[in-house]
Amino acid sequence: MKTPRIVIVGGGIGGMLLATRLGRRLGRSGKAHICLIDREFTHVWKPLLHTIAAGTRDVHQQRVHFLAHAQQNGYHFEPGELIGVARHARYVRLGPLREAKGAIAVGPRELPYDLLVLALGSGANDYATPGVREHAYFIDGQAQADAFNHALRMQLLRSALHDTDVRIAIVGGGATGVELAAELSDLMEQASGLGDGQMRQRLQLTLYEAGPRILAAFPERISRASTDILQGLDFTICTGTRVRALTETHVVLQHGQPQPADLVVWAAGVKAPSVLTQVAGLSLNHQQQVQVRPNLQASMDERIYALGDCASLLPLDAAHALPPTAQVAAQQAAHLARHIERALHGGTVPAFTYRDQGALVSLGKYSAYGTLGAAGLYPGCFIRGRLAQLGHAWLHRRHQASVLGWHRAPLAWLAEATNAWAHPSIRLS
């Protein structure tokens, strides 16, 4: 009898957790062939990308190598980028793998599936704003975070050698933009060894938000507290301000004079990968997310499931779809890991139930804020400071333990602590 194949596209939070659990449960026993596809060779917890972009966290300590992890956990890893899905023939198309200089190392491939899980995540939405793709940096993935960090280090060096300010604009006042702003302040304080030791004073950071307040997805109390922190760092927060275009040297506003900027980070909006628009028969919303049934099954294809940021699920009696957050992706991955085996044998995956565990935003060493969700002991309770920072750190450690196992995760924590003591606290190369 042919071994059924479950193909998971995307090695982010949801895809990695799903591949890990299915590999341990079905892959090792030979009940199913589990294949994870990702264009990167390593996995990073996405809520840490802003620290990697700023250079305040060692990127090498945070990466989990797919190849080694797959061998340890009973699944297979296939590097590549999804370029299409043949729904009726049931196979996925992957683009070529290229060397650093652009030469094709491995040509396009096709992989069959019996069940396909789309866990492609999402990225910022440029809303077709002129100049964004040419002049802005994104930090939606590891390569983008690394690219911004390299440009940032070069800008800091120019500033120190030529006695100029570092003008950074962040477009988007959601969690990514706010957390990145705080990390950049921390970076500049730690970079005081450059030049005349006045690097922190050289940072001129402006945060642009089209809505009436930053952190619109959080309670207003958290928004106000975070605004106070950033303004206390002498950052400029421009709410109700829409960016009309970007040039090589300026941020062009809908109303007002163009504002100079050496580096621009675009962290506004959410949009699923455009490859989904090339898959015939999928029902997508205006953010290109796959519209799924309550059991996470694509509304137009019973052999395809979608989870996390690339999926849109409107719970019963809810006014809005579930938000594109790490906890939603993790819970959906756990749900499919428990029940998807039923679909292999003609059964039905039950409806997914979301448990709101609250929300946290971390402003690095300066503070953190959060609220406890409806699933907690104290629904709606506001937390701040050290308690919220510990809560944010615990989410990361819990994810590491889910991926590495509780027997391996403490070793990773020990290695991280040892390296933090022995190496520079900021990224220098």
Where do the domains of the chain lie?
5-123+271-344, 132-266, 358-420
Q: How many residues in the chain?
A: 429
Radius of gyration of the chain (CA): 22
Give Cα 14 distance to the centre of its chain.
11
**428: nearest Cα among 194, 145, 182, 181:** 194
Instruction: Please classify residue 294 by burial: count the beta carbons closer than 10 Å to its beta carbon, then call 0-12 exposed, 13-18 middle and 19+ buried.
Output: middle
Q: What is the pLDDT of residue 382?
A: 87
CA–CA distance, 124 with 54 (Å, rounded to integer): 18
Instruction: Please classify residue 56 by burial: count the beta carbons closer than 10 Å to its beta carbon, then call 0-12 exposed, 13-18 middle and 19+ buried.
Output: buried
Q: Which residues of 94-106 are buried (b: 16+ CB within 10 A; e: fewer)?
A: bbeeeeeeeeeee
**122: nearest Cα among 19, 264, 267, 246:** 267
Backbone angles phi, psi at 81, to 5 degrees: -115, 130
Q: What is the pLDDT of residue 190?
A: 80
Q: Write out the two tokens for 277.
A: 């628009």
Superfamily for domain range 132-266:
FAD/NAD(P)-binding domain (3.50.50.60)
Instruction: Please classify residue 399 by burial: count the beta carbons closer than 10 Å to its beta carbon, then call 0-12 exposed, 13-18 middle and 19+ buried.
Output: buried
230: three-class secondary structure by DSSP: helix
Q: Write out the two tokens for 47.
A: 């809520």
Where helices occur in 296-405 by DSSP H, the ranges are 326-344, 385-404
Is 5-123+271-344's fold the same as 132-266's?
A: yes
Superfamily for domain range 5-123+271-344:
FAD/NAD(P)-binding domain (3.50.50.60)
Instruction: Please classify residue 292 by burial: count the beta carbons closer than 10 Å to its beta carbon, then call 0-12 exposed, 13-18 middle and 19+ buried.
Output: buried
Q: What is the pLDDT of residue 162?
A: 86
Q: What is the pLDDT of residue 2?
A: 87
Q: Are 83 and 94 in contact (CB under 8 A)?
A: yes
Q: What pTM was estimated for this model as a whole?
A: 0.92
CA–CA distance, 140 with 157 (Å, rounded to integer): 25
**pLDDT tens by residue, 21-75:** 999 999 999 999 999 999 999 999 999 999 999 998 877 777 999 999 999 999 9
In the chain, which stretches have pLDDT less than 50? none
Q: Write out the two tokens for 4.
A: 């059924």
Report the run of H or E that residue 206 belongs to, with start and end.
Answer: strand 203-209
